[in-house]
Amino acid sequence: MRMSISLRKVNKSYQSGEVAVHALKDADLEVNDGEIVVILGPSGSGKSTLMNIIGGIDTADSGEVEVEGSKLHGIRGKQLVEFRRKMTGFVFQSYNLIPGLTVEENIEVGSEISINPLPIREILEGVEMTDKRTKLPHQLSGGEQQRVAIARAISKNPKLLLCDEPTGALDEHTGKKILSLLQEINRNYKTTILIITHNQGIAEMGHKIVKMKSGKIAEIKLNSAPITAEQVEWV
Ligand SMILES: Nc1ncnc2c1ncn2[C@@H]1O[C@H](COP(=O)(O)OP(=O)(O)OP(=O)(O)O)[C@@H](O)[C@H]1O
Ligand SMILES: [Mg+2]
């Protein structure tokens, strides 16, 4: 099977005032093409750091990072921009919508830069935002903004979809709809999907479950029988 992500001994520290925070410690991870990987761990354990490095938003201090055939260690600037544009869709922990653009226009930001975009109408339907497509972000609830952020990432039809707490602001009903949509995308397009969550129940949806603790990958569990979004026990 083709490898989507390969990390070897990846380290990352942040300088926070006088002290250095070792956010990622010797992280090793392999993800196959088309897998759903769920990442769990307490706040501050390094989940977003890991995802940002895989998505080429942040760079490792040391170690090897290979994603979708690109070696990300050592590359910078323009090459990294190109990698992100071509390969990744990102759903940020804070939605990062553009305030002056409508729902539909925010989603188009994703599809416009893609070589292989999905139809906007279909995406709007999928996240149940068709009737709100002309609204601005400040006119939306947190959950609705979250759905637009997800729609924007999906619209690119990326090889790799990185979702940092995609259901954090959503109730059980909407959350499961979104997770269902992610599963559908995984099935239909063989998209590799990483999902960070605090919701233990979501873990069983993953082909692979990664547990982080104090900057370390503490456990990687393989799951041969992932459950569907509908079967998730919402906690
Ligand atoms: N830009 C930064 N500058 C300084 N410290 C940072 C920065 N980004 C992350 N950190 C620190 O690195 C550690 C890991 O942060 P990270 O955001 O990866 O955690 P997380 O597991 O995503 O947490 P949460 O569940 O709260 O989102 C934390 O101690 C955090 O304070
Ligand atoms: Mg985080």
Please name the residue whose Cα sits nearest to atom 7 of ligand 1: 14
Tens digits of per-residue pLDDT, 102-137? 999 999 998 888 888 999 999 999 899 999 999 999
Our count of domains for the chain comes to 1
Residue of 180, 188, 170 whose CA lies nearest to 227:
180
Is 19's C-beta closer than 6 angstroms to any atom of ligand 1? no
At residue 143 the predicted structure's pLDDT band, cuts being 50, 70 and 90, is: confident
186: left (phi over 0), alpha (psi -120 to 50) or beta: alpha
Radius of gyration of the chain (CA): 17
133: Cα within 13 Å, side-chain hemisphere: 17
pTM confidence score: 0.94
Give the DSSP per-residue string, 126-180. Answer: HTT-GGGTT--GGGS-HHHHHHHHHHHHHHT--SEEEEESTTTT--HHHHHHHHH
Encoded tokens for 114: 């893609």
- Residues ≥6 apart with Cβ < 8 Å to 163: 91, 150, 153, 182, 193, 194, 195, 196
Domain that holds residue 104: 3-231
Pairing type for strands 36-40 and 208-213 reads parallel
Is 21's C-beta closer than 6 angstroms to any atom of ligand 1? yes
Minimum-distance ligand 1 atom for the alpha carbon of 24: 14
Is 43's C-beta closer than 6 angstroms to any atom of ligand 1? yes
CATH number at residue 63: 3.40.50.300
Tens digits of per-residue pLDDT, 34-80? 999 999 999 999 999 999 999 999 999 999 999 999 999 888 889 99
pLDDT score at 194: 98
